Amino acid sequence: MLTSRLARRFFHADAHWRHLRRLGKVAVSLLGLLTMTFIIGRVMPIDPVLSVVGPDADQATYREVYHQLGLDRPIWTQYGYYLSHLLHGDLGRALLTGRPVVEDILRVFPATVELATAAIVLGAVLGIPLGVLAAIRRGRWVDHLIRVTSLLGYSTPIFLVGMLALLLFYHYLGWSGGVGRMALGFEGVVKPVTGFLLIDAALGGHWDVLRSAVRHLMLPACILGAHSTAYISRMTRSFMLAQLSQEYILTARVKGLSEMSVVWRHAFPNILVQLLTVVALVYGSLLEGAVLIESVFAWPGFGQYLTSSLLLGDMNAVMGCVLFVGLVFVVLNLITDSLYPIVDPRTRS
């Protein structure tokens, strides 16, 4: 009894220590990422003062803004000043909009979440079955077709696909909406509550706006979804081939189990942990900002905001976005880790 009690205490203490070490690694990683971004931002050949005052400003105005931005201080002083404000939740003001960076990120991020979520759902729903099918039909024409299609889908420049899709499905066929999140006539109609246009339009009963938003979302989401499908199907095929070559699969077939039972009840559950990791990484990269697609479709999301800030030399916004991307991946990793014991009970130990 005493031994088991001590074992439980040791187990809980070890688990807490592992969580603390994980949080420590996350903090060090975010700090390193922020430090590198800060240094790169200070050595880039972009003058943020000119972005504020313009190229025609006189020297006195330039020096005043230079001093207001704190650029006349040593770089380590600037970095310490930035970290002290960061600890209070202040990421500074964006030169692009004049608003706090936190408000800008919270304003543009829901648009990217809607686009990325639709894309990852499409990519997982199509990519996983296609990967399983390719593994089952290894070496046959179905396998070759899926592999070639996946390779083309993953290697084709996504901005080229976006422009061709706009030309075909919007200009010629009229099946989808154009650029932006909705038609221009609906701008300002929906009162922002959650920041997610689809949800806010449904909550307000603006069904015409909802239909317009869905039409505008459909095409870029399908393009990103097809790109995600190509990668997820390739990884699923690789994971399934590794499982189908195991001895327990041969034993199941010798026992006379059907092929569907062997594949979906025995082999597939053993790759769920790996698939969760792959899907989480793909989703994180989409949330990071599908910059090219957002640029082609004028999608007012996180990727377009980050790109505009980088071109303007707005390092407050850039560093805020970098830190936010790091937090997104940390949250996705934590969610994925919490799902592992659910999909595979063996990981609970």
| 102 and 91 Cβ atoms separated by less than 8 Å | yes
Beta bridge partners of 100: 93
User: What stretches of the chain show up as alpha helix (H) in DSSP?
Assistant: 2-43, 48-53, 59-68, 75-86, 101-136, 141-155, 158-165, 197-203, 207-244, 247-254, 259-261, 272-287, 291-296, 302-312, 315-343
CB 182 within 8 A of CB 188: no
For 100, phi and psi rounded to 5 degrees?
Answer: -60, 145
CA distance 286 to 265: 31
Q: Which two tokens stand for residue 254?
A: 């010798």
pTM of the model: 0.83
**Alpha-carbon span 35 to 42, nearest angstrom:** 11
Strand partners of residue 265: none
Lowest mean per-residue pLDDT among 70-84, 201-215, 272-286: 70-84
Contacts of 137 by beta carbon, 8 Å cutoff, 6+ apart:
143
- Helices 101-136 & 141-155, crossing angle to 10 degrees? 160
pLDDT in tens, 114-166: 999 999 999 999 999 999 999 999 889 998 998 888 888 878 888 888 889 98
Query: Averaging pLDDT over each range in 77-81, 126-130, 190-194, which range is the top one?
Result: 126-130
For residue 198, what are the CA distances in angstroms to 13, 113, 132?
45, 11, 33
* Segment 338-349 mean pLDDT: 74
Average pLDDT over every residue of 160-189: 86
CATH class of the domain comprising 109-348: mainly alpha
Other CB atoms within 10 A of residue 184 CB: 9
How far is it, in rounded angstroms, from Cα 100 to Cα 325?
17
Closest to 304 in 3D by CA, of 320, 292, 286: 292
Q: Tens digits of per-residue pLDDT, 43-68?
A: 766 677 776 666 777 778 878 877 77
Q: Which of 126-130, 306-310, 311-315, 322-326 has the lowest mean pLDDT?
A: 311-315
Give the pair of three-digit tokens for residue 226.
């097809």
Quote the pLDDT of residue 263: 87
Is the model more confident about 27 or about 206? 206
* 332/324 Cα distance (integer angstroms): 12
What number is the average pLDDT over the span 299-310?
Answer: 86
pLDDT of residue 25: 74
Q: Which amino acid is at 138?
A: R
What integer pLDDT is reported at residue 327 of this predicted model? Answer: 83
Candidate from 22-26, 35-39, 59-63, 238-242 with smallest mean pLDDT: 22-26
Residue 93's DSSP bridge partners are 100
Tell me the domain boundaries of the chain.
1-32, 109-348
